[in-house]
Amino acid sequence: STILYNDRFLDRSQGKVDMEDRGYQFGDGIYEALRVYNGKMFLLDLHMKRLERSARELRLALPYATDHLAENLDKLIKENAMDYGYVYFQITRGAIARKHRFPEQPIDTVLTASVEATDKDEDLHTDGIKVSLLDDIRWLRCDIKTLNLLGNVLANQEAFERGADDAILHRDGVVTEGTTCNVFMVKDGVLITHPADHFILNGITRIFVLQLAERLGIPVDERTYTTAELLAADEVFLTSTGVRVTPVLQIDDRQVAGGKPGPITNRLLEAFNQDVE
Ligand code: PDD
């Protein structure tokens, strides 16, 4: 396959990064993952805005403007003749002798991007999944989409080993998000999700689903809620670029939401699918 390396298109076998790259040594970088439907990047502008915000928060200079990046990603999709799948890209602070503080003289950041083709409807679990409820041990800037994902990786692995598809994380009993996704619950007809503060990543799918809810006239409350509320919810679902809207029907040993996808989840799912077809 073809990859993007800074401003160049290379064969995947040429995609090599320096051993002293700060992304490799410190996780000092940012990333985005977005979905391609019918050859077109979905919600591209929102992803680019979030990238710019992540860069600002880490005081990391993007190698070139996001308009040019979008053109390059478009070329990458065409080079790989991909109709459906993912685009993943990341930018690190660059390669220099290892020292925690930023380089004194500016160095070149390193941007890499690749695609992964999927079937049209791959990884959709519209019939519902099982999750595990785990401690959120991550740092306090979960709003930045950084390459530092160890808290997410460990929880995701733990969930897998417990026979679950993902984890729902909580801090001292307050539900935050999943390891790769945001969490929504429905109670008495109201859609409830953690506010977009430093405890969660403000998912692009989260933003989109909130817009769909508004369009459909579903009341929304962005507020914190406890694990006890989650377990007593009428409906629970996850959102992300990968899973879109996925109902949660079991949390550890407990069935939730009556064990089947609820009406509000289904309405949002349907509206979502109509928008991406
Ligand atoms: N993950 N929360 C976390 C911790 C995430 O890692 C993600 C996305 C989301 C949902 O964001 P979005 O709707 O923009 O995909 C929420 C991506 C897909 C990943 O790490 O591969």
For residue 240, the CA-to-ligand 1 centroid distance in Å is 5
The ipTM assigned to this model is 0.98
Among 114, 181, 211, residue to substitute to test ligand 1 (most atoms within 8 Å of Cβ)? 181
pLDDT in tens, 223-261: 999 999 999 999 999 999 999 999 999 999 999 988 999
Same domain, 194 and 96: no
Same domain, 77 and 159: no
Name the residues annotated as catalytic: 145
- CATH value at residue 269: 3.20.10.10
Strands (E), the chain: 2-5, 8-11, 29-37, 40-41, 85-92, 110-117, 129-135, 166-171, 174-178, 182-187, 190-193, 220-222, 235-240, 244-251, 254-255
Whole-structure pTM value: 0.96
Single out the residue in 91, 117, 143 at which a domain terminates: 117
Token pair of 275, please? Answer: 């928008």
Does residue 124 sit within a domain? no
What's the rounded mean pLDDT across residues 120-132? 83
Does residue 123 sit within a domain? no
Same domain, 226 and 172: yes
Does residue 187 sit within a domain? yes
Kindly state if the Cβ of 167 falls inside 6 Å of ligand 1. Answer: no
Same domain, 104 and 9: yes
Same domain, 163 and 105: no
Same domain, 143 and 250: yes
Measured by CA distance, the residue closest to atom 6 of ligand 1 is: 180
Does residue 69 sit within a domain? yes
Same domain, 153 and 185: yes
Measured by CA distance, the residue closest to atom 5 of ligand 1 is: 180
- CATH value at residue 97: 3.30.470.10
Q: What percent of the chain has pLDDT above 90?
A: 94
Same domain, 272 and 145: yes
Q: How high does pLDDT run on average in the chain?
A: 96
Does residue 210 sit within a domain? yes
Kindly state if the Cβ of 262 falls inside 6 Å of ligand 1. Answer: no
Does residue 228 sit within a domain? yes
Minimal CA–CA distance to 69: which of 84, 90, 42, 85?
90
pLDDT in tens, 84-103: 999 999 999 999 999 999 99
Parent domain of 7: 2-117
For residue 203, the CA-to-ligand 1 centroid distance in Å is 6
Does residue 122 sit within a domain? no
pLDDT attached to residue 125 = 75
Same domain, 249 and 160: yes
Can you spell out the DSSP letters for 147-172?
S--HHHHHHHHHHHHTT-SEEEEEET
Query: In this structure, are residues 243 and 124 in contact, taking their beta carbons and an 8 Å threshold?
Result: yes
Domain count, the chain: 2
Residue 179 backbone class (left: φ over 0; alpha: ψ -120 to 50; beta: rest): alpha
Measured by CA distance, the residue closest to atom 1 of ligand 1 is: 180
